[in-house]
Protein backbone atom coordinates (compact mmCIF):
# COMPACT_ATOMS: atom_id res chain seq x y z
CA UNK A 1 0.00 0.00 0.00
CA UNK A 2 1.41 3.37 -1.03
CA UNK A 3 1.65 6.22 1.47
CA UNK A 4 1.89 8.85 -1.29
CA UNK A 5 5.62 9.41 -0.79
CA UNK A 6 7.78 9.52 -3.91
CA UNK A 7 9.54 6.31 -4.82
CA UNK A 8 13.12 6.12 -3.62
CA UNK A 9 15.89 5.37 -6.04
CA UNK A 10 14.18 7.15 -8.93
CA UNK A 11 16.77 8.59 -11.27
CA UNK A 12 16.98 12.35 -11.51
CA UNK A 13 16.23 13.70 -14.97
CA UNK A 14 19.31 14.19 -17.12
CA UNK A 15 20.20 17.81 -17.91
CA UNK A 16 18.98 19.46 -21.10
CA UNK A 17 20.09 22.76 -22.62
CA UNK A 18 18.80 25.01 -25.35
CA UNK A 19 20.56 25.87 -28.60
CA UNK A 20 21.76 29.28 -27.38
CA UNK A 21 23.49 27.71 -24.38
CA UNK A 22 25.04 25.01 -26.57
CA UNK A 23 26.34 27.64 -28.98
CA UNK A 24 27.79 29.74 -26.15
CA UNK A 25 29.57 26.72 -24.64
CA UNK A 26 30.95 25.72 -28.04
CA UNK A 27 32.13 29.24 -28.82
CA UNK A 28 33.89 29.35 -25.43
CA UNK A 29 35.41 25.91 -26.12
CA UNK A 30 33.73 24.58 -22.98
CA UNK A 31 31.88 21.78 -24.77
CA UNK A 32 32.07 19.14 -27.47
CA UNK A 33 28.98 18.66 -29.66
CA UNK A 34 28.38 14.95 -30.29
CA UNK A 35 26.00 14.22 -33.18
CA UNK A 36 24.44 10.76 -32.76
CA UNK A 37 22.48 10.70 -36.02
CA UNK A 38 23.45 8.31 -38.82
CA UNK A 39 26.27 9.19 -41.24
CA UNK A 40 23.94 10.00 -44.17
CA UNK A 41 21.99 12.46 -41.99
CA UNK A 42 25.22 14.09 -40.80
CA UNK A 43 26.60 14.37 -44.34
CA UNK A 44 23.37 16.00 -45.53
CA UNK A 45 23.36 18.65 -42.77
CA UNK A 46 25.34 19.15 -39.58
CA UNK A 47 26.56 21.74 -37.12
CA UNK A 48 30.05 23.01 -37.92
CA UNK A 49 32.51 21.65 -35.37
CA UNK A 50 30.29 18.76 -34.30
CA UNK A 51 31.64 15.21 -34.03
CA UNK A 52 29.75 12.27 -35.54
CA UNK A 53 29.22 9.12 -33.49
CA UNK A 54 25.96 7.43 -34.54
CA UNK A 55 23.86 6.00 -31.74
CA UNK A 56 23.98 2.66 -33.59
CA UNK A 57 27.76 2.56 -32.98
CA UNK A 58 27.86 4.17 -29.54
CA UNK A 59 29.68 1.99 -27.01
CA UNK A 60 30.07 3.75 -23.66
CA UNK A 61 32.77 1.26 -22.66
CA UNK A 62 35.12 2.60 -25.34
CA UNK A 63 33.95 6.22 -25.40
CA UNK A 64 36.88 8.52 -24.60
CA UNK A 65 36.78 9.82 -21.02
CA UNK A 66 36.15 13.50 -21.75
CA UNK A 67 36.43 15.29 -18.42
CA UNK A 68 37.83 18.71 -19.38
CA UNK A 69 34.73 19.75 -21.36
CA UNK A 70 31.00 19.27 -21.29
CA UNK A 71 29.52 16.87 -23.86
CA UNK A 72 26.40 18.06 -25.65
CA UNK A 73 24.50 15.28 -27.43
CA UNK A 74 22.54 16.17 -30.56
CA UNK A 75 20.22 14.34 -32.96
CA UNK A 76 17.39 15.49 -35.23
CA UNK A 77 14.80 16.31 -32.53
CA UNK A 78 16.25 15.00 -29.25
CA UNK A 79 15.04 11.38 -28.87
CA UNK A 80 18.22 9.55 -29.95
CA UNK A 81 20.32 12.11 -28.12
CA UNK A 82 18.44 11.36 -24.90
CA UNK A 83 19.15 7.64 -25.35
CA UNK A 84 22.85 8.32 -25.97
CA UNK A 85 22.99 10.71 -23.04
CA UNK A 86 21.53 8.07 -20.74
CA UNK A 87 24.01 5.42 -21.91
CA UNK A 88 26.97 7.75 -21.39
CA UNK A 89 25.74 9.00 -18.03
CA UNK A 90 25.06 5.45 -16.84
CA UNK A 91 28.67 4.57 -17.72
CA UNK A 92 29.86 7.28 -15.35
CA UNK A 93 30.78 10.03 -17.82
CA UNK A 94 30.11 13.43 -16.20
CA UNK A 95 28.71 16.60 -17.74
CA UNK A 96 26.51 15.10 -20.49
CA UNK A 97 23.77 17.40 -21.81
CA UNK A 98 20.98 16.83 -24.33
CA UNK A 99 20.33 19.64 -26.79
CA UNK A 100 16.57 20.07 -26.43
CA UNK A 101 14.91 19.92 -29.83
CA UNK A 102 18.08 18.74 -31.57
CA UNK A 103 19.17 20.04 -34.94
CA UNK A 104 15.68 21.43 -35.52
CA UNK A 105 16.05 23.70 -32.48
CA UNK A 106 19.57 24.70 -33.56
CA UNK A 107 18.25 25.86 -36.94
CA UNK A 108 15.18 27.57 -35.44
CA UNK A 109 17.58 29.59 -33.27
CA UNK A 110 19.15 30.85 -36.50
CA UNK A 111 22.48 29.08 -36.09
CA UNK A 112 24.60 27.88 -39.00
CA UNK A 113 24.62 24.39 -40.46
CA UNK A 114 26.66 22.88 -43.28
CA UNK A 115 26.64 19.77 -45.45
CA UNK A 116 25.52 18.25 -48.71
CA UNK A 117 22.10 19.88 -48.43
CA UNK A 118 23.74 23.12 -49.51
CA UNK A 119 25.78 21.55 -52.32
CA UNK A 120 22.54 20.52 -54.01
CA UNK A 121 21.30 24.11 -54.19
CA UNK A 122 21.84 25.95 -57.45
CA UNK A 123 22.97 29.52 -56.82
CA UNK A 124 23.53 30.35 -60.51
CA UNK A 125 21.62 33.17 -62.11
Q: Could you give the number of structural domains in the chain?
A: 1
Average pLDDT over residues 78-92: 95
Q: Which domain holds residue 47?
A: 16-113
Instruction: Indicate whether 93 belongs to any domain.
Output: yes
**Cα angle 34-98-29, degrees, rounded to a multiple of 5:** 55
Instruction: Indicate whether 79 belongs to any domain.
Output: yes
Q: What is the pLDDT of residues 9-61, one digit of tens each?
A: 456 689 999 999 999 999 999 999 999 999 999 999 999 999 999 999 999 99
What is this structure's pTM? 0.84
CATH of the domain at 39: 3.40.250.10
Instruction: Indicate whether 51 belongs to any domain.
Output: yes
Instruction: Indicate whether 125 belongs to any domain.
Output: no
Instruction: Indicate whether 124 belongs to any domain.
Output: no
Residues annotated catalytic, as ranges: 75
Residue 120 has pLDDT above 70, yes or no: no
The CA distances from residue 119 to 12, 31, 46, 47, 63, in Å, are 43, 28, 13, 15, 32
Nearest CA to 59 out of 95, 87, 34 is that of 87
Instruction: Indicate whether 74 belongs to any domain.
Output: yes
Instruction: Indicate whether 8 belongs to any domain.
Output: no
pLDDT score recorded for residue 76 = 96
Instruction: Indicate whether 2 belongs to any domain.
Output: no
Amino acid sequence: MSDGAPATGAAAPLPEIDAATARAWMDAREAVLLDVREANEFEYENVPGSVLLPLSFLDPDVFPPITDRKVIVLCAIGKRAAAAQKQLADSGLPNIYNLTGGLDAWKKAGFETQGGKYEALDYSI
